[in-house]
Amino acid sequence: MLALSALCVAVSTFAQDSDPIATDRPTQSAGSTVVPKGSALIEYGFIYEKAGDFSNVTFANVLARVGLLNGVELRITQNIQQVKNELTDTKVDGLSPITLGTKIHLISEQGAVPQASIIGQVTLSNGNEAFRPDEAIPEVRLNFSNSLSDFLSLGYNIGMAFPEDNKVTIYSMVLGYSFSPGWTVFAEPYGFLQEGVSDHRFNTGLIYLISDRVQFDISAGIGLSDVSPDSFIGFGAAIGF
């Protein structure tokens, strides 16, 4: 959390941008929009997952995004989480590994051609021993979006992560409907694929942009495969600087 705390202090010096914030939460699909130069976003979330006799609670899912250059943002993610065995009433909690990365704008939307950006990031081998990978995990993700109408939007991601000697393919697709000024409802299938294992899930929720700089959200979902969590629910907020 020290890295995030330092970044929160640093972003207070950035000027505000006139456009509404465009967050990467609460969907699993990262948005195609990059934080403008001289602006910053702090995104926070709480998530509760149930999987058989185990629960996984993320008390603080924090993503800090800073626009360093035109079309380039810096990203830092860290979680505070707890895994509990409901049968034995044992638990482990602590800090997750820090994820460092960048998102880079590629192309703007032109008709049927989507807006596109790319995320490159690495999850470090630090944090609580229970959550720490043996080696740093690199990941790359392409993010696309299309405005289907004044009320409908489509976002979709494809990416790959490389934990140790393995390879995980990441996919997601989210459809958003703005039914009232500031209010958006979304539906999203997503998943993680690796050799011999398919983890498919479905997520839905509500986003409220209370002002150009402040957003609240709530979401819930279910697992669609044997290795997925049974269900999950979350809420969060974001603030722009």
Give pLDDT tens digits for 60-106: 999 999 999 999 999 999 999 999 998 999 999 999 999 999 999 99
- The domain segmentation of the chain, as residue ranges, is 2-240
pLDDT on residue 186: 98
Phi, psi of 127 (to 5 degrees): 85, -170
Residue written as tokens 């709530």?
218
2-240: which CATH topology?
Porin (2.40.160)
State yes or no: pLDDT of 143 exceeds 60: yes
State how far the Cα of 43 lies from the Cα of 65, in Å rounded to an integer.
8
> What does each C-alpha distance from 219 to 28, 59, 115, 150, 192 come to in angstroms?
11, 15, 25, 23, 19
Report the candidate in 18, 65, 46, 27 with the shortest Cα–Cα distance to residue 153.
27
Element containing residue 185 per DSSP (H, E): strand 183-194
CB 50 within 8 A of CB 229: yes
Q: Rounded to two decimals, what is the model's pTM?
A: 0.90
pLDDT bucket at 165, cuts 50 / 70 / 90: confident
Is it the case that residue 168 has pLDDT exceeding 60?
Answer: yes
Q: Is the pLDDT of residue 3 over 70?
A: no
